[in-house]
Amino acid sequence: MIDLRPKRVAVTGGAGFIGSHLVRRLLERGDDVLVIDNFYSGTRDNLADVRDHPHLEVLRHDVTFPLYVELDEIYHLACPASPVFYQADPVQTTKTCVHGSINMLGLAKRTGAKILLASTSEVYGDPAVHPQQEEYWGNVNPIGIRSCYDEGKRAAETLFFDYHRQHRTRIKVARIFNTYGPQMLANDGRVVSNFIVQALTGQPLTVYGDGSQTRSFCYVDDLVEGLIRLMDTGEEVTGPINLGNPGEFTMLELATEVLRIVGSDAPVEHLPLPQDDPTRRRPDITRAQETLGWEPTVQLVEGLERTIAYFAERLVARGLTAFAAPVVASS
């Protein structure tokens, strides 16, 4: 018999930056979506435009506690992903990664749901291999100030693969590289949002170290497409799979591009490099290309224009910006 009911999908951390974009895509394709969030780093404002959608339910819940619902798929994104938030309460960050994953994996085991872990490029630490392939085991400080997140996600990956081997749980593991776009928090401490807000308000752009360290920036729409494609694969595909944009930019290059688009002559201010800050970061996405038929389509300049317009509109509304919002095509 053909099942015509909507797919029941949970998104933990669904009120966060990436989670809210994923929720919209799932609603657009007709799924019943349950957002599970404790609103530590997420906000209901991110879901304001879909809060009355008939297929959306929002549940305030901390994933470190068990949850009993019926589901077909679980996107497990719950965890603060920016240093400002995850270092503010490192013990809770580790609990979210470990206890939260155990609870969501237990839910998937009971219901037979597929479950996807939003892991991170931080599992590679300060990599000694460049670009980073999924086979690389990483170079992570287990006792540093970033360890709650880096090692927490590594432990979460361990749990996912152990549940798969021991209980045949249907898992997917995505390693997400730096992602940016509308609905990032202005105060989350990520480099893209920092630079944009500083440039729009005429403040110096804070660059840590000499600015030669590199990152690869993936626009959020591309990332969400990759997550959905990974979830939709058959049981033979578990990952881990890198999802990110292989374009590599130094922090000074990013700062220069943001200043150019904004039209600001704000200075660049150099600050000491944080502990364990990776010097280079770029994904090898060969596996994603071959397995998912996926690669990013939004290049950095286009993505920055959209993101700057988002922040400018909100800052102008609050009378906080010295610059008008750039005119760009809608995403």
Q: Is 40 assigned a catalytic role?
A: no
Pick the closest to residue 171 from 93, 97, 233 (CA basis). Answer: 233
Whether 138 contacts 193, CB under 8 Å: no
The amino acid at 295: E
Q: Tokens for 163?
A: 């549940």
> CA-CA distance, 20 to 56, in Å (whole number)?
12
Measured distance CA(262)–CA(286) in Å, rounded: 34
The CA distance from 242 to 119, in Å, is 9
CB 78 within 8 A of CB 37: yes
Collect all residues with Cβ–Cβ distance below 8 Å to 155 and sequence separation of at least 6: 94, 97, 98, 101
User: How far, in Å, CA of 146 to CA of 273, rounded?
Assistant: 13
Catalytic one of 86, 149, 180, 219: 149
Residues with catalytic annotation? Answer: 149
